[in-house]
Amino acid sequence: MRPVAPGAWLGLLGGGQLGRMFSMAAQSLGYRVLVLDPGSDGPTASVADDHLCADYLDTAALVEMGRRCAAVTTEFENVPAEALRRLGESCVVSPGHGGVAIAQDRIREKRFLVEAGLSTAPFAVIFTEFDLPTVDAALFPGILKLARLGYDGKGQISVASAANLPAAFTALGGRPCVLERRLPLELEVSVVVARGFDGGVTTFPVAENRHANGILDVSMVPARIPDALAAAARDAALRVAEALDYRGVLCVEFFVVEGGQLVANEIAPRPHNSGHYSIDACVSSQFEQQARVMCRQPLGDTGLLSAAVMVNLLGDLWAAGEPDWGHVFRHPRAKLHLYGKREARPGRKMGHFTVLADTADEALETAVLIKADLIAGTRPSA
Protein backbone atom coordinates (compact mmCIF):
# COMPACT_ATOMS: atom_id res chain seq x y z
CA MET A 1 0.00 0.00 0.00
CA ARG A 2 1.20 3.51 -0.80
CA PRO A 3 2.24 5.99 1.91
CA VAL A 4 -0.33 8.56 3.01
CA ALA A 5 0.98 11.98 1.98
CA PRO A 6 0.82 15.09 4.19
CA GLY A 7 -2.45 16.97 3.80
CA ALA A 8 -4.51 13.84 4.54
CA TRP A 9 -6.70 13.52 7.63
CA LEU A 10 -5.66 11.24 10.47
CA GLY A 11 -8.22 10.03 13.01
CA LEU A 12 -7.57 9.86 16.74
CA LEU A 13 -9.65 8.11 19.40
CA GLY A 14 -9.27 9.82 22.76
CA GLY A 15 -8.66 13.45 23.58
CA GLY A 16 -6.14 13.59 26.44
CA GLN A 17 -2.59 14.89 26.58
CA LEU A 18 -1.21 12.00 24.53
CA GLY A 19 -3.63 12.95 21.76
CA ARG A 20 -2.59 16.58 22.07
CA MET A 21 1.09 15.74 21.62
CA PHE A 22 0.28 13.30 18.81
CA SER A 23 -1.76 16.00 17.05
CA MET A 24 1.05 18.53 17.32
CA ALA A 25 3.57 16.05 15.87
CA ALA A 26 1.25 14.98 13.03
CA GLN A 27 0.34 18.57 12.20
CA SER A 28 3.95 19.58 12.09
CA LEU A 29 4.41 16.94 9.38
CA GLY A 30 1.50 18.51 7.49
CA TYR A 31 -1.28 16.07 8.37
CA ARG A 32 -4.70 17.11 9.68
CA VAL A 33 -6.18 15.52 12.78
CA LEU A 34 -9.80 14.58 13.49
CA VAL A 35 -10.28 13.64 17.14
CA LEU A 36 -13.16 11.60 18.57
CA ASP A 37 -13.55 12.52 22.22
CA PRO A 38 -16.75 12.39 24.27
CA GLY A 39 -15.51 15.34 26.35
CA SER A 40 -15.92 18.88 25.07
CA ASP A 41 -12.78 20.62 26.35
CA GLY A 42 -10.09 17.93 26.55
CA PRO A 43 -6.42 18.73 25.85
CA THR A 44 -6.63 17.48 22.24
CA ALA A 45 -9.81 19.21 21.13
CA SER A 46 -8.25 22.68 21.26
CA VAL A 47 -5.35 21.56 19.08
CA ALA A 48 -6.87 19.08 16.60
CA ASP A 49 -8.19 20.37 13.26
CA ASP A 50 -11.65 18.98 13.96
CA HIS A 51 -13.46 17.33 16.87
CA LEU A 52 -16.26 14.77 16.86
CA CYS A 53 -17.82 15.04 20.28
CA ALA A 54 -19.42 11.62 20.69
CA ASP A 55 -19.08 8.29 22.43
CA TYR A 56 -16.31 5.96 21.20
CA LEU A 57 -18.90 3.46 19.96
CA ASP A 58 -21.20 6.06 18.35
CA THR A 59 -21.94 4.57 14.93
CA ALA A 60 -22.37 7.86 13.08
CA ALA A 61 -19.10 9.22 14.48
CA LEU A 62 -17.16 6.07 13.59
CA VAL A 63 -18.61 6.06 10.08
CA GLU A 64 -17.66 9.72 9.61
CA MET A 65 -14.15 9.11 10.92
CA GLY A 66 -13.68 6.10 8.65
CA ARG A 67 -14.91 8.12 5.65
CA ARG A 68 -12.76 11.20 6.24
CA CYS A 69 -9.52 9.68 7.53
CA ALA A 70 -6.76 7.83 5.73
CA ALA A 71 -5.66 6.18 8.98
CA VAL A 72 -6.79 6.06 12.60
CA THR A 73 -4.99 5.65 15.90
CA THR A 74 -5.83 5.75 19.60
CA GLU A 75 -4.27 7.55 22.51
CA PHE A 76 -6.55 6.22 25.20
CA GLU A 77 -5.66 2.79 26.52
CA ASN A 78 -9.19 1.93 27.47
CA VAL A 79 -10.84 2.93 24.22
CA PRO A 80 -13.18 0.08 23.30
CA ALA A 81 -11.17 -2.33 21.13
CA GLU A 82 -14.48 -2.79 19.30
CA ALA A 83 -14.26 0.79 17.98
CA LEU A 84 -10.86 -0.02 16.44
CA ARG A 85 -12.23 -3.22 14.95
CA ARG A 86 -15.11 -1.36 13.31
CA LEU A 87 -12.84 1.39 11.96
CA GLY A 88 -10.51 -1.28 10.62
CA GLU A 89 -13.22 -2.26 8.16
CA SER A 90 -12.91 1.06 6.34
CA CYS A 91 -9.40 2.41 6.96
CA VAL A 92 -5.91 1.68 8.21
CA VAL A 93 -5.94 1.31 12.00
CA SER A 94 -2.75 1.48 14.03
CA PRO A 95 -2.57 -0.20 16.45
CA GLY A 96 -5.09 -2.89 15.52
CA HIS A 97 -7.73 -4.05 17.96
CA GLY A 98 -5.99 -7.36 18.75
CA GLY A 99 -2.94 -5.91 20.51
CA VAL A 100 -5.03 -3.29 22.27
CA ALA A 101 -7.45 -5.92 23.58
CA ILE A 102 -4.54 -7.88 25.11
CA ALA A 103 -2.95 -4.83 26.73
CA GLN A 104 -6.33 -3.76 28.18
CA ASP A 105 -6.71 -6.97 30.12
CA ARG A 106 -4.02 -7.85 32.67
CA ILE A 107 -4.97 -11.52 32.58
CA ARG A 108 -4.49 -11.80 28.82
CA GLU A 109 -1.47 -9.50 29.02
CA LYS A 110 0.34 -11.58 31.65
CA ARG A 111 -0.36 -14.82 29.81
CA PHE A 112 0.79 -13.26 26.56
CA LEU A 113 4.07 -12.05 28.13
CA VAL A 114 4.81 -15.53 29.46
CA GLU A 115 4.03 -17.09 26.07
CA ALA A 116 6.30 -14.56 24.36
CA GLY A 117 9.13 -15.82 26.57
CA LEU A 118 9.43 -12.83 28.94
CA SER A 119 9.75 -13.13 32.71
CA THR A 120 6.90 -11.69 34.76
CA ALA A 121 6.27 -11.41 38.48
CA PRO A 122 4.83 -14.73 39.74
CA PHE A 123 1.05 -14.34 39.56
CA ALA A 124 -2.31 -16.01 39.96
CA VAL A 125 -5.53 -15.23 38.12
CA ILE A 126 -8.63 -14.69 40.25
CA PHE A 127 -11.91 -14.65 38.36
CA THR A 128 -14.30 -15.26 41.26
CA GLU A 129 -14.27 -15.75 45.02
CA PHE A 130 -14.00 -19.50 44.43
CA ASP A 131 -10.44 -18.97 43.17
CA LEU A 132 -9.34 -17.27 46.41
CA PRO A 133 -8.55 -20.41 48.46
CA THR A 134 -6.46 -21.87 45.63
CA VAL A 135 -3.91 -19.03 45.61
CA ASP A 136 -0.32 -20.12 46.26
CA ALA A 137 1.06 -18.88 49.61
CA ALA A 138 4.32 -18.01 47.83
CA LEU A 139 2.55 -15.01 46.19
CA PHE A 140 2.45 -13.06 49.47
CA PRO A 141 3.10 -10.28 50.19
CA GLY A 142 1.43 -9.42 46.93
CA ILE A 143 -0.46 -6.81 44.98
CA LEU A 144 -4.01 -7.47 43.81
CA LYS A 145 -4.67 -5.68 40.52
CA LEU A 146 -7.96 -5.32 38.67
CA ALA A 147 -7.72 -7.04 35.29
CA ARG A 148 -9.34 -4.10 33.51
CA LEU A 149 -9.42 -0.30 33.67
CA GLY A 150 -6.61 0.23 36.19
CA TYR A 151 -4.04 2.99 35.62
CA ASP A 152 -1.58 5.12 37.59
CA GLY A 153 -1.72 2.67 40.49
CA LYS A 154 -5.54 2.83 40.65
CA GLY A 155 -7.40 -0.46 40.98
CA GLN A 156 -4.60 -2.03 43.04
CA ILE A 157 -4.39 -3.11 46.67
CA SER A 158 -1.41 -4.40 48.63
CA VAL A 159 -2.16 -7.75 50.24
CA ALA A 160 0.13 -8.79 53.08
CA SER A 161 -1.09 -12.36 53.50
CA ALA A 162 -3.67 -14.89 52.29
CA ALA A 163 -5.92 -13.89 55.19
CA ASN A 164 -6.31 -10.39 53.72
CA LEU A 165 -7.05 -11.52 50.19
CA PRO A 166 -10.87 -11.94 50.38
CA ALA A 167 -11.33 -8.41 51.76
CA ALA A 168 -9.05 -6.94 49.07
CA PHE A 169 -10.97 -8.83 46.36
CA THR A 170 -14.26 -7.50 47.71
CA ALA A 171 -12.84 -3.97 47.92
CA LEU A 172 -12.02 -4.16 44.19
CA GLY A 173 -15.63 -5.04 43.46
CA GLY A 174 -15.21 -8.82 43.20
CA ARG A 175 -14.20 -8.42 39.57
CA PRO A 176 -11.50 -10.47 37.78
CA CYS A 177 -8.03 -9.70 39.13
CA VAL A 178 -4.42 -10.71 38.98
CA LEU A 179 -2.51 -11.27 42.21
CA GLU A 180 1.21 -10.64 41.80
CA ARG A 181 4.00 -11.24 44.23
CA ARG A 182 5.53 -7.95 45.39
CA LEU A 183 9.07 -7.97 44.04
CA PRO A 184 12.06 -6.17 45.59
CA LEU A 185 12.64 -3.55 42.88
CA GLU A 186 16.04 -2.08 42.21
CA LEU A 187 14.55 0.23 39.64
CA GLU A 188 11.97 0.48 36.88
CA VAL A 189 12.68 0.99 33.19
CA SER A 190 10.63 1.17 30.02
CA VAL A 191 11.14 0.90 26.29
CA VAL A 192 9.03 2.50 23.57
CA VAL A 193 8.95 0.49 20.33
CA ALA A 194 7.61 1.40 16.92
CA ARG A 195 6.82 -1.23 14.31
CA GLY A 196 5.73 -0.27 10.83
CA PHE A 197 3.50 -1.97 8.27
CA ASP A 198 6.63 -2.78 6.28
CA GLY A 199 8.03 -4.66 9.28
CA GLY A 200 10.52 -1.88 10.06
CA VAL A 201 11.15 -1.56 13.80
CA THR A 202 12.86 0.92 16.10
CA THR A 203 13.28 1.05 19.85
CA PHE A 204 13.77 4.27 21.77
CA PRO A 205 16.52 4.48 24.37
CA VAL A 206 15.66 2.79 27.67
CA ALA A 207 14.15 5.19 30.20
CA GLU A 208 14.72 4.83 33.93
CA ASN A 209 11.50 5.61 35.77
CA ARG A 210 10.66 6.69 39.28
CA HIS A 211 7.11 6.57 40.56
CA ALA A 212 5.50 8.44 43.43
CA ASN A 213 2.17 7.18 44.80
CA GLY A 214 1.81 4.78 41.87
CA ILE A 215 2.16 7.60 39.29
CA LEU A 216 5.20 8.18 37.10
CA ASP A 217 7.20 11.05 38.60
CA VAL A 218 10.53 11.19 36.74
CA SER A 219 12.00 9.51 33.63
CA MET A 220 15.71 9.66 32.83
CA VAL A 221 17.62 8.78 29.67
CA PRO A 222 19.91 7.08 29.24
CA ALA A 223 18.88 4.73 32.05
CA ARG A 224 21.70 4.21 34.52
CA ILE A 225 21.90 0.45 33.96
CA PRO A 226 24.56 -1.78 32.39
CA ASP A 227 24.59 -1.77 28.57
CA ALA A 228 23.81 -5.50 28.48
CA LEU A 229 20.66 -4.97 30.55
CA ALA A 230 19.56 -2.06 28.35
CA ALA A 231 20.09 -4.22 25.25
CA ALA A 232 18.08 -7.04 26.86
CA ALA A 233 15.20 -4.64 27.61
CA ARG A 234 15.16 -3.35 24.03
CA ASP A 235 15.22 -6.94 22.71
CA ALA A 236 12.41 -8.01 25.00
CA ALA A 237 10.27 -5.01 23.95
CA LEU A 238 10.86 -5.87 20.30
CA ARG A 239 9.82 -9.45 20.96
CA VAL A 240 6.55 -8.14 22.41
CA ALA A 241 5.84 -6.01 19.32
CA GLU A 242 6.64 -8.90 17.03
CA ALA A 243 4.65 -11.50 18.95
CA LEU A 244 1.64 -9.16 18.87
CA ASP A 245 2.25 -8.50 15.15
CA TYR A 246 1.84 -4.92 16.28
CA ARG A 247 1.79 -1.91 13.92
CA GLY A 248 2.25 1.33 15.77
CA VAL A 249 3.95 2.59 18.92
CA LEU A 250 3.85 0.65 22.16
CA CYS A 251 5.68 0.76 25.47
CA VAL A 252 6.80 -2.10 27.65
CA GLU A 253 7.37 -1.37 31.35
CA PHE A 254 9.93 -3.51 33.16
CA PHE A 255 11.12 -4.02 36.71
CA VAL A 256 14.79 -4.53 37.42
CA VAL A 257 14.69 -6.78 40.46
CA GLU A 258 17.44 -6.69 43.07
CA GLY A 259 20.25 -8.78 41.63
CA GLY A 260 19.64 -7.41 38.13
CA GLN A 261 16.90 -9.65 36.71
CA LEU A 262 14.64 -8.04 34.10
CA VAL A 263 10.91 -8.65 34.64
CA ALA A 264 8.19 -7.43 32.27
CA ASN A 265 5.40 -5.55 34.06
CA GLU A 266 2.92 -4.26 31.50
CA ILE A 267 2.31 -3.15 27.93
CA ALA A 268 0.82 0.19 26.92
CA PRO A 269 -0.53 0.05 23.34
CA ARG A 270 0.34 3.68 22.56
CA PRO A 271 3.00 6.33 23.14
CA HIS A 272 3.79 6.44 26.85
CA ASN A 273 4.39 9.02 29.55
CA SER A 274 7.91 7.63 30.04
CA GLY A 275 8.65 8.40 26.36
CA HIS A 276 7.81 12.11 26.52
CA TYR A 277 11.51 12.91 26.71
CA SER A 278 11.69 11.91 23.03
CA ILE A 279 9.92 15.15 22.02
CA ASP A 280 12.93 17.22 23.05
CA ALA A 281 15.78 14.73 23.25
CA CYS A 282 15.45 12.48 20.17
CA VAL A 283 15.70 12.96 16.43
CA SER A 284 12.10 11.71 16.10
CA SER A 285 9.60 11.72 18.96
CA GLN A 286 7.39 8.78 19.88
CA PHE A 287 4.42 10.80 18.55
CA GLU A 288 6.05 11.50 15.18
CA GLN A 289 6.87 7.81 15.01
CA GLN A 290 3.18 6.94 15.51
CA ALA A 291 2.22 9.30 12.68
CA ARG A 292 4.90 7.76 10.44
CA VAL A 293 3.61 4.24 11.08
CA MET A 294 -0.01 5.17 10.38
CA CYS A 295 0.96 6.92 7.18
CA ARG A 296 3.19 4.05 6.06
CA GLN A 297 6.16 6.37 5.99
CA PRO A 298 9.60 5.00 6.90
CA LEU A 299 10.35 5.16 10.63
CA GLY A 300 12.41 8.05 11.96
CA ASP A 301 15.69 7.80 13.84
CA THR A 302 15.28 7.32 17.59
CA GLY A 303 18.81 8.35 18.55
CA LEU A 304 19.31 10.55 21.61
CA LEU A 305 20.46 14.08 20.86
CA SER A 306 21.14 14.63 24.54
CA ALA A 307 20.76 13.04 27.94
CA ALA A 308 17.45 14.14 29.45
CA VAL A 309 15.20 14.03 32.47
CA MET A 310 11.42 14.42 32.26
CA VAL A 311 9.39 15.45 35.30
CA ASN A 312 5.61 15.12 35.47
CA LEU A 313 3.63 18.11 36.70
CA LEU A 314 0.66 16.88 38.70
CA GLY A 315 -2.30 18.95 39.83
CA ASP A 316 -1.00 18.91 43.42
CA LEU A 317 1.44 21.61 42.32
CA TRP A 318 -1.51 23.97 41.78
CA ALA A 319 -2.59 23.84 45.45
CA ALA A 320 -1.69 27.51 45.93
CA GLY A 321 -2.65 28.63 42.42
CA GLU A 322 -0.87 28.54 39.06
CA PRO A 323 2.83 27.74 39.57
CA ASP A 324 5.36 30.36 38.49
CA TRP A 325 6.68 28.94 35.20
CA GLY A 326 9.57 31.38 35.31
CA HIS A 327 11.32 28.67 37.34
CA VAL A 328 11.41 26.51 34.21
CA PHE A 329 11.92 29.25 31.62
CA ARG A 330 15.03 30.57 33.33
CA HIS A 331 16.87 27.34 32.45
CA PRO A 332 17.74 27.54 28.75
CA ARG A 333 17.92 23.73 28.44
CA ALA A 334 14.58 23.07 30.14
CA LYS A 335 11.44 22.64 28.02
CA LEU A 336 7.94 23.23 29.40
CA HIS A 337 4.90 21.29 28.16
CA LEU A 338 1.49 22.19 29.58
CA TYR A 339 -1.57 20.27 28.48
CA GLY A 340 -4.15 23.04 28.64
CA LYS A 341 -6.30 21.36 31.30
CA ARG A 342 -8.53 23.93 33.01
CA GLU A 343 -8.98 22.20 36.33
CA ALA A 344 -6.04 21.04 38.45
CA ARG A 345 -6.85 18.10 40.72
CA PRO A 346 -4.40 16.17 42.93
CA GLY A 347 -2.78 13.38 40.91
CA ARG A 348 -4.00 14.79 37.57
CA LYS A 349 -1.31 15.05 34.89
CA MET A 350 -1.26 18.76 33.96
CA GLY A 351 2.02 18.88 32.07
CA HIS A 352 5.68 17.96 32.20
CA PHE A 353 9.06 19.53 31.70
CA THR A 354 12.21 18.04 30.23
CA VAL A 355 15.75 19.09 31.06
CA LEU A 356 18.57 18.40 28.60
CA ALA A 357 22.17 18.11 29.82
CA ASP A 358 25.45 16.38 29.06
CA THR A 359 24.66 13.51 31.43
CA ALA A 360 21.47 12.12 32.94
CA ASP A 361 22.79 12.91 36.43
CA GLU A 362 23.38 16.54 35.52
CA ALA A 363 19.90 16.79 34.00
CA LEU A 364 18.47 15.26 37.17
CA GLU A 365 20.22 17.83 39.33
CA THR A 366 18.66 20.72 37.41
CA ALA A 367 15.27 18.98 37.24
CA VAL A 368 15.21 18.49 41.02
CA LEU A 369 16.07 22.16 41.50
CA ILE A 370 13.28 23.30 39.20
CA LYS A 371 10.73 21.03 40.87
CA ALA A 372 11.76 22.30 44.32
CA ASP A 373 11.41 25.92 43.15
CA LEU A 374 7.96 25.19 41.69
CA ILE A 375 6.84 23.57 44.95
CA ALA A 376 8.29 26.36 47.12
CA GLY A 377 6.37 28.86 45.00
CA THR A 378 8.97 31.56 45.43
CA ARG A 379 9.57 34.11 42.68
CA PRO A 380 12.26 33.04 40.22
CA SER A 381 15.55 34.85 40.60
CA ALA A 382 17.07 36.40 37.47
Q: Which residues bind ligand ADP (CB under 6 A)?
A: 121, 143, 145, 150-153, 180, 182-183, 185, 188, 211, 214, 253, 265-266
Instruction: Give whichever of 79 and 183 is closer to ligand ADP, judged by the CB atom.
Output: 183
Q: From the list Mg ion, ligand ADP, none, which binds 182 (C-beta under 5 to 8 Å, kind-based)?
A: ligand ADP
HSE-up of residue 331 (Cα within 13 Å, Cβ side): 22
The span of 106-114, 124-132, 217-225, 249-257 binding Mg ion (CB under 5 A) equals 249-257
Kindly tell me which of 255 and 287 has the beta carbon lying closer to Mg ion.
255
Q: Which is nearer to ligand ADP, 203 or 265 (CB)?
A: 265
- Residue 143 binds which of Mg ion, ligand ADP, none (CB < 5-8 A, kind-dependent): ligand ADP
Beta carbon of residue 137, minimum distance to ligand ADP (angstroms, whole number): 16
- C-alpha–C-alpha distance, residues 90 and 6, integer Å: 20
Closest separation between CB of residue 225 and ligand ADP, Å? 16
Out of Mg ion, ligand ADP, none, what residue 153 binds, judged by CB under 5 to 8 A for its kind, is ligand ADP
C-beta of 129 vs 258, nearer to ligand ADP = 258
Residue with Cβ nearer ligand ADP (97 or 145): 145
Residue span binding Mg ion (CB under 5 A) among the ranges 42-50, 172-180, 253-261, 314-322: 253-261
Q: How far is the CB of 45 from Mg ion (least distance, A)?
A: 26
Residue 195 contacts residue 244 (beta carbons within 8 Å): no
- Print the SS3 string covering 38-55: CCCCCCCCCCCCEEECCC
CB of 253 or CB of 373, closer to Mg ion: 253
| Residue 222 interaction partner, one of Mg ion, ligand ADP, none, beta carbon < 5-8 Å per kind | none
Q: Considering CB distances under 5 to 8 angstroms, the limit depending on partner class, which of ligand ADP, Mg ion, none binds residue 214?
A: ligand ADP
Minimum Å gap between C-beta 153 and ligand ADP is 4
Q: Closest approach of Cβ 70 to ligand ADP, in Å?
A: 32
Among 45-53, 184-192, 248-256, 368-376, the segment contacting Mg ion (CB under 5 A): 248-256
Identify which of residues 95 and 150 has a Cβ nearer to ligand ADP in the complex.
150
Least distance between Mg ion and beta carbon 266 (Å): 5
Where do contacts with Mg ion occur on this chain (CB under 5 A)? 253
